[in-house]
Amino acid sequence: GESVGLHLPTLSVQEGDNSIINCAYSNSASDYFIWYKQESGKGPQFIIDIRSNMDKRQGQRVTVLLNKTVKHLSLQIAATQPGDSAVYFCAENIFPNAGNMLTFGGGTRLMVKP
Amino acid sequence: GAVVSQHPSWVICKSGTSVKIECRSLDFQATTMFWYRQFPKQSLMLMATSNEGSKATYEQGVEKDKFLINHASLTLSTLTVTSAHPEDSSFYICSAMDMSSHEQYFGPGTRLTVT
């Protein structure tokens, strides 16, 4: 995804529901993708990653889906909790590259209603 | 787990002064560290790549003479904002790449406010 970040979309969900956060990336050569969670005033926190040789990876309550055909990445959070409220960013890079640079997407704010 | 610290966590300075921000990898060595800037409600924008023992690589549009980067050891990189202006007010975040695993870990960020 382009790091344009001029608008931060918001996803509002009810506690206990599942959340799906989407990300479109632009570089077809990207082969490593990461989802980060950022709480207000803090640095990004690693959630889950996926390499381009996979289309799905599961963690604890989280699943990342990768569709290379349409260059789309999604993060699914099961049974969303108030503590999941944060801004979520996808990031991409070409692994390994000389600098291991990450390019961040614009981010999505997740708000969980109790 | 790998920890990256930043100091200070927040700083307020007057316009025209310089501010130094430190980024440290606490339990691993990092030949490469990255400096990002994040404005409110926006994404992280890479400013520069800091390489231990060599000059930093700056992204397009980032003034290297204004944002001085020094990566003098395998655990410390510093970013100095020189002659700060109010438009430099932002959240500055560093990340460090573990030279053995190539995993990247983020610091907690530094909030800079220039008055």
Quick: pLDDT tens for B28-67.
999 899 999 999 989 999 999 998 888 999 999 999 999 9
- Taking contacts as CB-CB distances below 8 angstroms, the residues of chain A near B43 are 3-5, 89, 104-107
Are B105 and B4 in contact by the 8 Å Cβ rule? The answer is yes
pLDDT for the residue A1: 35
Residue of chain A whose Cα is closest to the Cα of B42: A5
**B42, B91, B95 ranked by CB distance to A5: nearest:** B42
Write the DSSP symbol of residue B87.
Answer: G
**A99, A100, A104 ranked by CB distance to B43: nearest:** A104
pLDDT for the residue A6: 47
Query: Which tokens belong to A5?
Result: 């970040």
Helix (H, G, I), strand (E, B) or coil at A83: helix
% chain A with pLDDT above 90 = 75
Average pLDDT over residues A66-93: 96
- Taking contacts as CB-CB distances below 8 angstroms, the residues of chain B near A26 are none
pLDDT band at A94 (very low <50, low <70, confident <90, very high): confident
User: Nearest CA of chain A to the CA of B37: how many Å?
Assistant: 11
CB contact under 8 A, B45 and A5: yes
CB contact under 8 A, B46 and A3: yes
> Bridge partners of A35?
A48, A90
- pLDDT > 90? residue A95: no
Average pLDDT over residues A14-35: 93
What's the CA gap between B19 and A24, in Å, rounded? 36
- Cα separations (Å) of B40 from A20, B34, B57, B108? 23, 20, 25, 16
